[in-house]
Amino acid sequence: MSPRDGLQNEPGLIATADKIALVDRLSNCGFSKVEVTSFVSPKWVPQLGDAAQVMQGITRKTGVSYCVLTPNLRGFEAAVAAGADEVAIFASASEGFSQKNINCSVAESIARFEPVLAAAMAIEMPVRGYVSCVTDCPYDGPTDPARVADVAAQLIGLGCFEVSLGDTIGAGTQETVTKMLDAVLAKVPAQQLAGHFHDTKGNALGNIEVSLDAGLRCFDASAGGLGGCPYAPGAKGNVATEKVVQLLHDKGFETGIDLQRLQETAAFAQSLKGK
């Protein structure tokens, strides 16, 4: 997530060449997927206004899928033109965040995603879905787990191959994440779920552990722990990828990731902050 979620909230504009270098370094760490950028309104997220140039500049590595965020059909078309391998749509389990982040209600966002899914299916482009604020919303407070399950099931029903469950402000605890997962798993199997934990309060690794226990095997993370959402006050970085890989290796999982290269990449990612 570092080139996208990691950089989207950085106040100073980061050079396109540095973003390209970050993606290329990640491509050489052994990841099967890198979320590169977002084809969103540059008025809303100025930092990612160079999405097309970044996509054009990266060196594509065989076996790596390059994914981008697309909030609407316009973003989808731009993503296809830029050669994205996969796109992601993003919904929220809370109304307050949906309004602030994409300027519409949750129901309106689902209706907006329908033509994106239809267009993607027509060209066999995989679409990932996000649900934000799965335990807590910066505007509406605690989120009802049933609501998360409903939105996740709607995204799968639309045709998403996977739904990433976002603890957008990193306020989730092992208890609230477990309750949320219990509700979601009643509607969507673990193989179609991913965990996306921000590490605001240092809970992310613990939340990944309870997610592993619940059967999840896909986790979003950001090298160097970069990140935050401009429309979620208080949201700090995503969980650091190098910490997640270390945890997984300690637990005996195989990840295919070169931890030393990842640590070098994390240092490079951090050097971009405040540049």
Only one of the segments 3-11, 18-26, 62-70, 177-185 lies at the binding site for Mg ion (rule: CB under 5 A); that segment is 3-11
Using H for helix, E for strand and C for coil, what is the string for 189-250?
Answer: CHHHEEEEEECCCCCHHHHHHHHHHCCCCCEECEHHHCCCCCCCCCCCCECEHHHHHHHHHH
d(CA 72, CA 212): 32
In the bound state with ligand HMG, the residue whose beta carbon lies nearer, of 168 and 263, is 168
Only one of the segments 5-13, 97-105, 155-163, 176-184 lies at the binding site for Mg ion (rule: CB under 5 A); that segment is 5-13
Pick from 87, 25, 88: nearest CA to 61: 25
- Rounded to the nearest whole angstrom, what is the least distance from the CB of residue 47 to ligand HMG in the complex? 10
DSSP codes, 126-195: -EEEEEE-SSEETTTEEPPHHHHHHHHHHHHHHT-SEEEEEETTS---HHHHHHHHHHHHTTS-GGGEEE
Beta-strand pair 162-167/193-197 = parallel
d(CA 210, CA 215): 9
Q: Is 29 a catalytic residue?
A: no
Catalytic annotation, pick one of 29, 133, 160, 229:
229
Only one of the segments 38-46, 148-156, 202-210, 254-262 lies at the binding site for ligand HMG (rule: CB under 6 A); that segment is 38-46
199 makes contact with Mg ion (CB under 5 A): no
Among 168, 203, 211, 265, binds ligand HMG (CB under 6 A): 168
Neighbours of 63 (CB within 10 A): 11
In the bound state with ligand HMG, the residue whose beta carbon lies nearer, of 180 and 263, is 180
**What is the x/- site pattern for ligand HMG, positions 225-254, by CB under 6 A?**
----x-x-----------------------
d(CA 71, CA 103): 11
Which residue reads 């890198």 in tokens? 34
In the bound state with ligand HMG, the residue whose beta carbon lies nearer, of 69 and 180, is 69
CA dihedral 252, 254, 258, 260 (to 10 degrees): -10
Which of Mg ion, ligand HMG, none does 31 bind, CB closer than 5 to 8 A by kind?
A: none
d(CA 207, CA 197): 7
Among 5, 86, 162, 199, binds Mg ion (CB under 5 A): 5
90 makes contact with ligand HMG (CB under 6 A): yes
- Rounded to the nearest whole angstrom, what is the least distance from the CB of residue 29 to ligand HMG in the complex? 20
Contact 88, 129 (CB under 8 A): yes
Only one of the segments 98-106, 141-149, 171-179, 183-191 lies at the binding site for ligand HMG (rule: CB under 6 A); that segment is 98-106
**What is the x/- site pattern for ligand HMG, positions 54-73, by CB under 6 A?**
---------------x-xx-
The residues of the shown chain that bind ligand HMG, judged by CB under 6 A, are 5, 8, 38-41, 43-45, 69, 71-72, 74-75, 90, 101-103, 130, 132, 166, 168, 196, 229, 231
Task: State the catalytic residues.
Answer: 229
The residues of the shown chain that bind Mg ion, judged by CB under 5 A, are 5
